[in-house]
Structure 1
Amino acid sequence: CPLLAESSGSFASVVVACGDSFDERLAWLCSLQGVDGSPLLRVEEIGPADAPSYVRIAGAGTSMILTRDGPAAPLVLRLPSLVPHPDTAEMPIGCRAQPMALDPCDFVDRALPPPLAPLESLFDAAAPSEVIISRASGEGAQWGVGRAGMLYRDLVPSRAGGALIASHIRIPGGGPVPDYVHFHRVQFQLIVCLAGWVEVVYEGQGQPFVLRRGDFVTQPPMIRHRVLSSSEGLEVLEIGAPATHATLADHEHLLPITSLTAADDGATLADATANRLPNTTLFGGQRFVHSIYEEAMRAPAARVEDGIAWRESSVLAATEGLVHVAHGAALSMGEGAVLSNEGAAEGAQDGAVELEGFAPPPDGSLARGGTGLAHDAAHLTIAFVTRGSATLACIERDSNEMRLDHLERADCATLPAGRPARWLKPTADFEVITVAFLKSEAAREAAARAAALEEVMQMDLYEQQS
């Protein structure tokens, strides 16, 4: 390989074989100028003096060693956009300089939304028009091996034209995670723990905490965070928007890493909530959300549809109406059931849905989407079954006929806009999480409703405490 990592003294350098173009490349690199006209790169080491066979040059955060070894390797140098761009005609053969555009995100207050392309425009260009079903197992399952041996399943292969990426991730091994403090330039990111546990720490959220089955967090734009450890067999659902986004390290930002719960897999709900701080800080225009399954399941259902109790999350208000996240559970999983994030409610029974003899409702009867939202309020809705099974009924776009899809644990459905849907014959332990990306007008109205609801809830709480 012509490009090698070496160290010279205390410097790490990239080795570039130059062959017969050694002298020409050295002269060109040393001629590059910085913003103030001073040399961008300088010779730091050269040898032997009488007939140099290598030279180390450094500057602008770069260190490289040029050698006379051959054949000459291509050399691509990325330069800050403010640096004078060299004349292409003067570049030696095999050399190229690329300007690095200034990133507008670097010049925006971290509390404000990042200046990224509006998701609305991406959805308008290529939002899916048909229902997408992704199976976790069986003939239709598609898993790939990603970084560090993690298994990835792409839930929306089209990426909705670049608007989002949704992945089911399995991490077979457990123990400490070799992560570092980092952040993402995104507009939305959701992490749901599906199995096992993972210990994480987030900027402004106190000490590290553990996500267990059914817990989830939103990662607002630019929030610093780090993964510390995980159990064997960890599974997570990760949804991010846009699909392609930058992940940047922040080695200067220190986060608390003293583990309070990772060594104790039997930590209680009180342990999980003890470290949380008041959630008022804005990151990229959004608030951090940490939803704990057992805590959420004790809340009263916002509505009941087709034997499923729907509970709202605080994501709608926290994202200023960008995304709606809800949790649906069969009524047997509701208030009064014996709840645990390790197993189903006491008395729940597994079983496949029998479709024989099912009479579809008359046309027009599917008035609402499977999330409880009006079906045309979202660009698309992702419905991921976290436990049990049920049948999703929706209307085909062209034929206007009903289609039925039996979904089991870890199966996923992506519903496009204008596609009414409902759940039929859920098993007693059925649970589903839905993530709806709202249209802009619907987003504004939904945010206002969510804010009004939060105000009412705060008033009720105040009256109860008075």
Structure 2
Amino acid sequence: MRCAELVLPAGDLDATIAFFVERLGFQLDALWPADGPRAALLSGHGLRLRLDPEVGSGSHARLRLTDDERAAGSEEVLLAPNGASVLLVGPPAPPTFEPHTSRFTVSRIRDEARWGVGRAGMEYRDLIPDREGGRVIASHIRIPRGGPVPDYTHYHHVGFQVIFCHRGWVEVAYEGQGPAFVLRPGDLVLQAPRIRHRVISCSDGLEVVEVTSPAEHETRVDHGLELPGSLDRPDRDFCGQRFHRHVAPEAAFAPCELDGFEAQSTGVGEASGGAGSVRRLRAVGEGEASIAGGSELHILFVRTGRVRVEVDGEERVELGPADACRIPARRGFRLSAPGGDCELLEVKLPGS
């Protein structure tokens, strides 16, 4: 057996965590999902607690044991002679996704008034509500009031994650990357899988765009690592990827294959080992760009100005600032900027 956990009802998760941490002296070890936490792991006093939303309020506690010799994802319930319930589970199975037919979708800022509160008080707006059947989550995240952020050193079990600064600034620190630094509009970081990091402070009105795969993943706390730290392993390999920071003023826009647009490369494709790519697109004329239907899923987020998007077989739509769209793989489309002052964030991921 690798670990034992006492499974308790999650109930009001924030209140339950606060009770165990502030009143009883436990520490938070993990919670998920980040954009709307429903479950958590805590530890303390020789115990490990799992707060599970599937356990009803008033239910008896259950002992949960992880056995690495069992089949991945398997479960078996045992009943002890004293009536105690014991759940034996195998190691986590690789993520599985729902059967899903990707389609062209639009997320408009004026239509999407719902902002959910996620980890560390951050507000999340979902740019792809169906999340490609669980394959990817694209979030517009904001912190209205600046200052110190109540964050802690943590890491994510992900395959790809990129953070792009849209408005304001945010101070962050990463494992092995030396002193804290500030992301400003146009900057981004590729958060390689399981790299430890922490958000330290931010400006009023901070807004970032985050794209992550898979959509649901654990956020784990690292109580033993203090950040900021030293610049000791800047090129460390994390599951075939490396941390990468793109500083917008240090990279030029250049002509690209899209008529009427120029592009600023960010280096994400190389640093992520092809798990995804990101670039900024800026209109430079009245031309219309045609993109053939390839094997990649496109996510477009409008930073400034307006853009017209016409996907094969769909009506043309016009998007404004903070609007976004998802264009499925194997669907050709066309882009044009009627005002000529348009800037887009383009994220491409392997199609499902």
In structure 1, C-alpha distance between the alignment counterparts of 2:196 and 2:336, rounded to whole Å: 41
Q: 1:75 maps to which residue?
A: 61
**Structure-2 separation of matches of 1:314 and 1:308:** 19
1:425 aligns with 2:329: no
Larger Rg: 1
The 1-side partners of 2:301 and 2:25 are apart by 49
Report the equivalent of 2:319: 407
For residues 60 and 259 of structure 2, the distance between their equivalents in structure 1, rounded to whole angstroms, comes to 63
Which of 86, 107, 111 is matched with 1:97 structurally? 86
Residue in structure 2 matching 1:232, options 191, 196, 204: 204
Post-superposition shift, 1:122?
Answer: 4.3
Amino acid at match of 1:394: V
Q: Decide which of 376, 379, 399 is 2:294's aligned counterpart.
A: 376
Q: Which of 297, 310, 321 does residue 263 from structure 2 map onto? A: 310
Match of 1:183 in 2: 155
How far residue 439 of structure 1 moved from its aligned partner, in angstroms, is: 4.9
Structure that is richer in helix per residue: 1
Using a 3 Å threshold, how does the CA distance of structure 1 residues 427 and 6 change in structure 2: closer, same or farther? closer
Other-structure match for 2:328: 416
Q: Specify which of 209, 220, 223 is matched with residue 192 of structure 2.
A: 220
Q: CA separation of 1:11/1:381 partners in 2, compared to 1, >3 Å: closer, same or farther?
A: closer
Q: CA deviation at 1:280?
A: 2.8
Alignment-mate amino acid for residue 79 of structure 1 = L
- What percent of counterpart residues are identical? 37
CA distance in 2, matches of 1:417, 1:172: 35
The residue number in structure 1 matching 2:310 is 393
Alpha-carbon distance between aligned partners in 2 of 1:322 and 1:292, rounded to the nearest angstrom:
20
Q: Distance in 2 between matches of 1:80 and 1:233?
A: 43
Cα distance, 1:418 vs. partner? Answer: 1.8
Q: 1:87/1:329 Cα in 2 relative to 1: closer, same or farther (>3 Å)? A: closer
Counterpart residue identity of residue 114, structure 2:
W
Q: 118, 121, 136: which one pairs with 2:109? A: 136
What is the distance in 2 between the residues matched to 1:277 and 1:11?
A: 33
Change (3 A) 1:277 1:235: farther
Give the C-alpha shift of residue 231 in structure 1. Answer: 0.8
Per the normalisation by structure 2, the TM-score is 0.76
* Alpha-carbon separation, structure 1, partners of 2:308 and 2:281: 14
Q: Would the alpha carbon gap of residues 127 and 302 (structure 1) be closer, same or farther in structure 2, given more than 3 Å must change?
A: farther
Correspondence for 1:146 among 117, 120, 124 = 117
What residue in structure 1 maps to residue 42 of structure 2? none
CA distance in 2, matches of 1:167, 1:62: 31
Q: Is the 8 A contact 1:302 1:312 kept in 2?
A: no
Q: CA deviation at 1:146?
A: 1.1
Q: For 1:58-457, list aligned pairs within 5 A.
A: 59=46, 61-62=47-48, 74-81=60-67, 87-88=78-79, 90-92=81-83, 95-103=84-92, 116-117=94-95, 122=97, 125-128=99-102, 130-137=103-110, 140-147=111-118, 149-256=121-228, 280-296=235-251, 299-303=252-256, 305-331=258-284, 368-369=290-291, 374-378=292-296, 380-396=297-313, 403-439=315-351
Gaps of 5+ in 2: 1-8, 28-44, 50-57, 71-75
Alignment CA distance shift 1:11-1:407 (3 Å): closer
Please say if residues 393 and 405 of structure 1, whose CA atoms lie closer than 8 Å, have aligned partners that are also in contact: yes
Which residue matches 2:6? none
Structural mapping, 1:4-43, within 5 Å: 5=20
Once the 2 structures are TM-superposed, how far is the Cα of residue 423 of structure 1 from its aligned partner?
1.3
Structure 2 SS opposite 1:235: strand
Q: Distance in 1 between matches of 2:22 and 2:245?
A: 44
Structure 1: stretches of 5+ with no match in the other structure: 14-57, 64-71, 105-115, 258-274, 333-352, 397-401, 441-466
More strand by share: 2
* 1:264 corresponding residue in structure 2: none
Q: Is the CA contact (8 Å cut-off) linking 1:304 and 1:310 kept in structure 2?
A: no
2:127 and 2:138 map into 1 onto residues whose CA distance is 5
Q: Which residue of 2 aligns with 1:40?
A: none
- Aligned residues of 1:135 and 1:411 also touching (Cα < 8 A): yes
Classify 1:228/1:331 alpha carbon distance in 2 versus 1 (closer, same or farther; 3 Å).
same
Verify the 8 A CA contact 1:303 1:311 in the aligned structure 2: no
Q: Deviations along 1:73-131, whole A, 9 cap, x unmatched?
A: 62222234269998415242xx4222353358xxxxxxxxxxx44xxx749x4241x21
**CA–CA distance in structure 2, aligned partners of residues 277 and 12 of structure 1:** 32
SS of corresponding position for 2:321: coil
One-letter amino acid of the structure 2 residue matched with residue 88 of structure 1: L
Higher RCO structure (Cα 8 Å, ≥6 apart): 2
The one-letter code of the counterpart of 2:182 is: V
> CA 1:427–1:281 in 2, change beyond 3 Å: closer, same or farther?
farther
1:302, distance to aligned residue in structure 2 (A): 4.6
Residues 1:220 and 1:302: Cα distance change in structure 2 (over 3 Å): farther
| Cα drift, residue 190 of structure 1 | 0.9
| Deviant stretches of 4+, over 6 Å | 1-4, 82-86, 275-278
Cα pair 2:173 2:199 within 8 Å, conserved = yes
Q: Which amino acid aligns with 2:248?
A: Y
CA RMSD of aligned residues (A): 3.6
TM-score (norm 1): 0.59
- Whole-angstrom CA distance in 1 between matches of 2:173 and 2:250: 20
